[in-house]
Amino acid sequence: MFEALGNRLTGVFDKLRRRGALSDADVQEALREVRIALLEADVALPVVKDLVNRVRDRAVGQEVIRSVSPAQQVIKIVNDALVEALGGGEGDDGKRGIDLNAPSPLPILMVGLQGSGKTTTSGKIALRLRVRDRKKVLLASLDVHRPAAQLQLQQLADRAEVTCLPIVMGQRPLEIAARAMDVARRELFDVVILDTAGRLSIDAELMAEVAAVKAFAKPHETLLVVDAMTGQDAVQTARAFNEQVGVTGIVMTRVDGDARGGAALSMRAVTGAPIKLLGAGEKLDALEDFHPDRIANRILGMGDIVSLVERAAETIDQAEAEKLAKKMQKGSFDLEDYAQQIKQIGKMGSLSGILGMLPGIGKMKAQIENANLDQSMLKRQSAIISSMTMKERRKPDLIKASRKKRIAAGSGTTVQEVNRLLKQFDDMSDMMKRMNKMGQKGMMRGGLASLMPGLGNKRPF
């Protein structure tokens, strides 16, 4: 999401930067292009107008033009306006993610259209609450319209290792909700997630059913799940739900697809409800908190380092990482360790997703993806190292022509690929030596960068 918009805006700002001194006309011209970029990203027209006006008010005039780095000032102003449109900035209550500040059992009601991702998101939230917040979670499916829906939730509960309310055939949604709350009180659950049925489109019957469940369960959070790929339809759905049922937050799913991002930028202004979470994939751990400032940074190609570090901290085996860091310091890092590192990166999720969070990588990302530099590359590199003998892994210098041929054949790759891997490993070893010279501080900064094979040496951050 946001890729096209990000590329457009970085293009506009690159042009401004090359100018150096800016006239009012330069700024107006840039604003025209920002406006087009936003419209192409499918941002609702009133939101575009408001955003551009706000930027114009702040950017046009002497202050910016006379400043030391006018282009930088304009970018900062656009950044602030994006943060505000996304629901951050002034008046931001700082409430991100789910509010758990209520007595147990705390009910969370999941609502939305069919196929928006309610059931999947219920499973994701359950997993996160169990692991991150150490909560005892009960999942209950109120979807009596589709026969398989209750089973689907049961399976997700199993994968998230949380309890699912046993299915009783023939019960109505309200009866199921009552049973869920009853079980939760008796068995001391902290959170009850009520997954409701959707419809293909908004209709009176759906709204009535959702409203009845809401009146009964008095949920602490009513989360509306919308599909980012549906663009402005998602915004209209959210508006209808918020007006007729009332929601406390929005979960936007499928942001891993090629949605243009307009919905996310329009949501707060049009519906008044905050986006709380993002669904970024089908897997249960593909759930992100929504941070307006970080998203704005991602759009403007400044990268989202904070999320990247958080993701790394969550998935990387701390003990393993420390062991590798020690080896780097001692200069005894070998291909065996490199293979370990590849495994850690594999665990962090798709490489292109990670790259999207790195500053300035946005534009490069498409090229990298075309070059097939993703999970498949990590797998191939793993395979190459697996085809080496232990001696070769410890002392890569041993690997000359005939050994390369054997390794390529053994791993189903080519000699070129073996060469590329050895070159990357060499680059990395060099970088580590340089970092060691820079001392501990350089080590900390380079630590994450060095997780990216072949990139670490180009992106010191």
Binding site for GTP, residues?
Answer: 112-119, 195-199, 253-256
Q: Which residue is nearest to ligand GDP (CB)?
A: 279
Interaction of residue 119 with Mg ion, rule CB under 5 A:
yes
CB atoms closer than 10 angstroms to residue 450:
22
Interaction of residue 253 with ligand GDP, rule CB under 6 A:
yes
Binding mask 76-115 for ligand GDP (x = CB under 6 A): ------------------------------------x-xx
Interaction of residue 141 with ligand GDP, rule CB under 6 A:
no
Would you state the structure tokens that stand for residue 378, as one six-digit string?
A: 């990590």
SS3 268: helix
Q: Of 88, 97, 105, 117, which one interacts with ligand GDP (CB under 6 A)?
A: 117
The Cα-based distances of 256 to 104, 126, 264 in angstroms read: 33, 20, 13
Nearest distance from C-beta of residue 5 to ligand GDP, angstroms: 19
Distance CA 224, CA 286 (A): 17
| Extended strands (E) in 152-307 | 163-164, 191-195, 221-227, 249-253, 275-279, 287-289
Q: Which residue is nearest to Mg ion (CB)?
A: 119
117/362 with CB nearer ligand GDP: 117
Interaction of residue 258 with ligand GDP, rule CB under 6 A:
no
Give residues 123-152 in contact with Mg ion (rule: CB under 5 A). Answer: 149
First-to-final CA distance of the chain: 24
Q: Quick one: which segment of 13-21, 77-85, 166-174, 280-288 binds ligand GDP (CB under 6 A)? A: 280-288
Residue 112 interacting partner from ligand GDP, Mg ion, none (CB closer than 5 to 8 Å by kind): ligand GDP
Nearest distance from C-beta of residue 291 to ligand GDP, angstroms: 17
The neighbouring-strand residues paired with 255 are: none
Residue 254 interacting partner from Mg ion, ligand GDP, none (CB closer than 5 to 8 Å by kind): ligand GDP
Give residues 281-310 in contact with ligand GDP (rule: CB under 6 A). Answer: 281-282, 286
Would you state the structure tokens that stand for residue 292, as one six-digit string?
A: 């307006």
Burial tier of 90 (Cβ tally within 10 Å: 0-12, 13-18, 19+): exposed
Residue 153 interacting partner from ligand GDP, Mg ion, none (CB closer than 5 to 8 Å by kind): none
The residue count for the chain? 461
**With contact defined as beta carbons under 8 Å apart, do 194 and 161 qualify?**
no
Nearest distance from C-beta of residue 231 to ligand GDP, angstroms: 15
Q: Is 187 left (phi over 0), alpha (psi -120 to 50) or beta?
A: alpha
> Which helix (H) or strand (E) segment is 340 a member of?
helix 335-347
Nearest distance from C-beta of residue 11 to ligand GDP, angstroms: 28
Nearest distance from C-beta of residue 288 to Mg ion, angstroms: 21
Distance CA 113, CA 198 (A): 4
Residue 282 interacting partner from Mg ion, ligand GDP, none (CB closer than 5 to 8 Å by kind): ligand GDP
Interaction of residue 254 with ligand GDP, rule CB under 6 A:
yes
> Which helix (H) or strand (E) segment is 289 a member of?
strand 287-289
Distance CA 73, CA 79 (A): 10
Distance CA 163, CA 192 (A): 10
Would you state the structure tokens that stand for residue 69, as one six-digit string?
A: 């780095």
Residue 298 interacting partner from Mg ion, ligand GDP, none (CB closer than 5 to 8 Å by kind): none
Residue 10 interacting partner from ligand GDP, Mg ion, none (CB closer than 5 to 8 Å by kind): none
> At which residue do the structure tokens 């609502």 appear?
111
Interaction of residue 349 with ligand GDP, rule CB under 6 A:
no
Name the nearest CA neighbour of 362 among 304, 308, 421, 446.
Answer: 304
Give residues 178-207 in contact with ligand GDP (rule: CB under 6 A). Answer: 198
Name the site residues for ligand GDP (rule: CB under 6 A). Answer: 112, 114-120, 198, 225, 253-254, 256-257, 279-282, 286
Name the site residues for Mg ion (rule: CB under 5 A). Answer: 118-119, 149
